[in-house]
Amino acid sequence: MKKKIFYHILTRSLKNAAKEQGLDGIAAELRCIVPDIGEQYSTFRLDSGYLESKVRNMHAFQISLVNKIIGEFRDPVIVDIGDSAGTHLQYIIGIHSRGKNVTALSVNADPDAVKKIKGKGLSAVNAKAEDLSKFDINADIFLCFQTLEHLMNPCQFLHQLSSKTNAKYLITTVPYLRQSRVGLHHIRTDRRAAVNSERTHIYELSPGDWKLLVRHCGWEIAEDRVYLQFLRRGFFSVLRPLWRRFDFEGFYGLILKRDDTWSSRYLDW
């Protein structure tokens, strides 16, 4: 019973947060495009109202960033790096294909995820994010949602996208933390079972540190935004410590434009 009440409170928190931050309308639109996101991840199923609400809100936040800049392109080429189900591309095609010819490609290191994405009629490539430069892949917009924190070398990845592609934008989201830390929670908690990259965070940085890192790697910050999983005001604002302990307070999103002002001054790439 206590567990049920706990998750009910978190689900209410998510619902109120989406409304307060103007994401509830987008979330409803995305639900119409992709009604079932149960198989979003390769390693577990979204099998509860809480998990679905959490991921729906995060998706709404991510697509709200895409919506800000996709209007600049008549026929955009979009490459999504790391999505395990092709869901974001389905959203974008569903929203924007009426007035545009959207070319979409998904990149994932998991062959089962690639198979699942292709089964939806989307194009997909089996590759690690860090190895993307080995493929002849270009885009107007690269998407990289909840991926940077999983990479062994996010600097190399970011610099390769900036220096070896012609992309105008990279849109990325990461967990929001006010103070940077190394993740590696399986080591912190002494869980000895084998882990893979999808379930392992390495770098969990604060917005200030991500801002420095992306500039170092060849990107300019066009816009950034924080989505919180609780109300900023009112009763549910007291849940901030609970979210921080149980999950994350929210997520941090950046819209990045290629700019080598700082990366060109670093001689050891």
The pLDDT assigned to 242 comes to 84
Stretches in the chain below the pLDDT threshold 70? 1, 235-236
- Which backbone phi and psi does 81 adopt, to 5 degrees? -100, 115
pLDDT of residue 236: 67
> Looking at residue 17, what is its pLDDT?
95
What pLDDT is stored for residue 197 in this prediction? 82
DSSP string covering 158-184: HHHHHHHS--SEEEEEEEE-SS-EE--
Q: What is the pLDDT of residue 233?
A: 78
The domains located in the chain, with CATH, are 2-265 (3.40.50.150)
Q: What is the pTM of this model?
A: 0.94
C-alpha distance from residue 168 to each of 3, 75, 162, 224, 256 (Å): 46, 14, 9, 16, 8
Per-residue b or e along 212-248, where b marks 16 or more CB atoms closer than 10 Å to that residue's CB: ebbbebbbeebebbebbbbbeeeebeebbebbbeeeb
Cβ neighbours of residue 198 closer than 8 Å, sequence gap 6 or more: 41, 42, 43, 84, 110, 150
